[in-house]
A and B are shown apart, each in its own frame.
Chain A
């Protein structure tokens, strides 16, 4: 069974930093691209960042580019999100997510959707 457990959330002042972790189990972590998605209180889902299976390629939403860094340690089955220069608008539940895949008749694969952890709350406030 796929399990993703986030940790590291909490209250931080504007301008501060926080590092989120996501411990993965129940699957071969090193084979999957991983993502962070956030949800501000009472709002919708917003994709934040993604990293490929070996950590060599990353991408970010414009709203966090230059402030957040996604990384992974495949030996520890753990995904990270380093968040710097935090702003009030970064307040949200942060979800770690794993890609799911499906295959066509040619054996080519596509992303089906995301499998999610339970989330960790980050509150940026003075």
Chain B
């Protein structure tokens, strides 16, 4: 099975900061990676698919990059509504593994 790791597990940031989260796969997954945002008590929301394509309706401050085994999610200027937990997910194999998550908290 393909395993995903995320770093950092937790980050504390201020409004306006540029934030980068990394997701690494245990084997190559081409660009079959999605990013989600989850707020407490809510379902995850799809932000980015195919590693770098912004889902319709998602603000342009979110961007994704990478292929193979290393991927990044960047928030160019953190807004109050962006404080949440972010997960990556591989869609290369039917295990559809998720990363362990990165919690973005207010500094």
Contact = CB atoms under 8 A, between A and B. Distances in A.
Given A102-B53, A110-B32, A113-B55, A47 B97 contact: yes
Interface in B83-106: 87, 89, 91, 94-101
A100 interface: yes
A46 B101 CA distance: 11
Q: Contact size class for A?
A: 20 to 34
Nearest to A119: B43
A26 interface: no
Contact of B44 (A50, A112, A114): A114
Nearest to A59: B94
A35 B94 CA distance: 11
A80 to B, nearest CB: 19
Contacts of B91: 110-113
Contacts of B45: 116
A113 B87 contact: no
A100 B49 contact: yes
Given A44-B87, A45-B87, A113 B46 contact: yes
A1 B43 CA distance: 16
A61 interface: yes
B75 interface: no
A111 B45 CA distance: 15
B34 interface: yes
B19 interface: no
B66 to A, nearest CB: 16
A114 to B, nearest CB: 7
A95 interface: yes
Contacts of A112: 34, 46, 49-50, 53, 55, 91
Contacts of B71: none
Contact of B98 (A44, A59, A111, A118): A44
A46 B89 CA distance: 10
A115 interface: yes
Interface of B: 32, 34, 36, 38, 42-46, 49-50, 53, 55, 87, 89, 91, 94-101
